């Protein structure tokens, strides 16, 4: 059965007396979507795109972890700190949040001495390989400086936003709980660590979920510095077969949707599982 021809006949039958220009326009769009040859090209190269998916996932996870490691202490300093340290953390956060991620990424890649930072890191991983045998932590071949620059850019910008998520969560804990902890002999640090922080982390999950999704989608900006993530590999494919532009990007969009949907549902479960008893989720 000739599917395009059948669809064309049905379209003309439905259109009736409609303008031929409208019918031809609609048909040209449908014909593009139903291009079997272009879809076959996409599926033949699906493994190449899935390689980009792996890089996208790894970049997202590493960037989020870097953002957490830097963002949580920054949020704590903004909440409980004082003086020059608090002012410095706040101003750096404002600078990072106010700068487009594309500008940060380009700066990291073309201005920062990434190769000098990568040298000690690769040497450290090499030492682990010697002491412990092969490890999964060595940077894969072909990624190098672009991956490291993208990780720094996404991680630092995420840290600036996560600091506000954690600052709000820490501030939401009633002051009476701190006073109660101090009244039973805890120091201020112990009260924050054992009473405030566990509750704040639970309350921060919804905001963290939003930030995780943003970082996942912003990994596509690494296309600008040549990192072979999903968007860059999609571009590589439609350069090879220019008629498959729509099909390639529909396929890539579907992958992004699956990743985002799966992440949101997973973090919804985490939020419900760790919800503070008595509080509505």
Q: What is the pLDDT of residues 17-33, one digit of tens each?
A: 555 555 455 445 555 55
> Between 240 and 49, whose confidence is greater?
49
Establish if 139 belongs to a structural domain: yes
**With 70 as the cut, is the pLDDT of residue 132 above it?**
no
Establish if 281 belongs to a structural domain: no
Confidence of residue 141 (pLDDT cuts 50, 70, 90): very low
> What is the predicted pLDDT for the residue at 249?
86
Across 234-254, average pLDDT:
82
Confidence of residue 78 (pLDDT cuts 50, 70, 90): very high
Establish if 39 belongs to a structural domain: no
Establish if 42 belongs to a structural domain: no
Q: Is the dihedral of CA 100, 106, 109, 110 positive or negative?
A: negative
The domain that contains 160 carries what CATH number?
1.10.3720.10
Q: Are residues 52 and 187 in the same domain?
A: yes
Q: Are residues 58 and 173 in the same domain?
A: yes
Establish if 97 belongs to a structural domain: yes
> What is the predicted pLDDT for the residue at 2?
47
Q: What is the pLDDT of residues 43-68, one digit of tens each?
A: 888 888 888 899 999 999 999 999 99
> What is the predicted pLDDT for the residue at 115?
74
Q: Are residues 96 and 173 in the same domain?
A: yes
Q: Are residues 28 and 63 in the same domain?
A: no
Residue indicated by tokens 């296309």: 223
Establish if 76 belongs to a structural domain: yes
Contacts of 219 (CB under 8 A, 6+ apart): 56, 59, 60, 63, 150, 154, 229, 230
- Give the tokens for residue 255: 């992958």
The structure's pTM equals 0.79
Q: How far apart are CA 122 and CA 105, in angstroms?
A: 21
Establish if 41 belongs to a structural domain: no
CB 138 within 8 A of CB 58: no
Confidence of residue 6 (pLDDT cuts 50, 70, 90): very low
Q: Are residues 24 and 115 in the same domain?
A: no
> What is the predicted pLDDT for the residue at 255?
92
Q: Are residues 91 and 141 in the same domain?
A: yes
Q: Are residues 8 and 119 in the same domain?
A: no
Establish if 212 belongs to a structural domain: yes
Closest CA to 56 of 263, 265, 266, 267: 263
Confidence of residue 3 (pLDDT cuts 50, 70, 90): very low
Across 250-261, average pLDDT:
92
> What is the predicted pLDDT for the residue at 121?
66
H/E element, 160: helix 144-171
> What is the predicted pLDDT for the residue at 21?
52
Q: Are residues 65 and 160 in the same domain?
A: yes
Least confidently predicted of 78-87, 122-131, 254-263: 122-131
Across 180-188, average pLDDT:
88
Residues spanned by the domain of 124: 47-273
Q: Are residues 26 and 54 in the same domain?
A: no
> What is the predicted pLDDT for the residue at 38?
76
**With 80 as the cut, is the pLDDT of residue 124 above it?**
no
Q: Are residues 54 and 10 in the same domain?
A: no
Q: Are residues 61 and 199 in the same domain?
A: yes
Across 222-243, average pLDDT:
83
Q: Is the dihedral of CA 169, 170, 175, 179 positive or negative?
A: positive
Q: Are residues 210 and 118 in the same domain?
A: yes
Query: How many domains does the chain divide into?
Result: 2
Give the number of other CB atoms < 10 A from CB of residue 229.
Answer: 26
Q: Is the dihedral of CA 52, 54, 58, 63 positive or negative?
A: positive
Q: How far apart are CA 176 and CA 196, in angstroms?
A: 11
Give the number of other CB atoms < 10 A from CB of residue 195.
Answer: 17
């Amino acid at each position: 059965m000739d599917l395009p021809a059948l669809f064309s006949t049905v379209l003309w039958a439905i259109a009736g007396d409609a303008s031929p220009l409208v019918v031809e326009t609609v048909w040209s769009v449908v014909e593009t979507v139903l291009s079997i040859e272009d879809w076959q090209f996409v599926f033949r190269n699906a493994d190449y795109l899935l390689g980009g998916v792996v890089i996208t996932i790894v970049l997202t996870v590493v960037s989020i972890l870097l953002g957490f490691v830097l963002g949580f202490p920054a949020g704590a300093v903004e909440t409980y700190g004082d003086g020059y340290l608090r002012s410095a953390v706040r101003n750096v956060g404002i600078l990072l949040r106010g700068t487009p991620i594309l500008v940060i990424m380009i700066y990291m890649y073309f201005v920062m001495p990434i190769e000098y930072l990568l040298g000690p890191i690769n040497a450290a991983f090499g030492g682990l390989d010697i002491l412990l045998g092969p490890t999964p932590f060595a940077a894969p071949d072909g990624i190098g400086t672009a991956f490291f620059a993208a990780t720094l850019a996404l991680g630092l910008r995420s840290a600036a936003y996560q600091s506000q998520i954690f600052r709000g969560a820490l501030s939401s804990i009633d002051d009476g709980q701190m006073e109660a902890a101090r009244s039973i002999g805890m120091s201020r640090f112990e009260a924050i660590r054992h009473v405030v922080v566990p509750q704040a982390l639970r309350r921060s999950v919804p905001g963290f979920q939003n930030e995780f999704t943003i970082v996942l989608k912003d990994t596509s900006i690494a296309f600008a510095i040549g990192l072979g993530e999903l968007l860059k590999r999609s571009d590589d494919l439609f350069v090879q077969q220019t008629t498959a532009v729509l099909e390639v990007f529909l396929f890539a969009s579907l992958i992004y949707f699956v990743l985002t949907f799966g992440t949101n549902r997973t973090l919804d479960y985490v939020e419900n599982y760790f919800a503070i008893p008595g509080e509505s989720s």
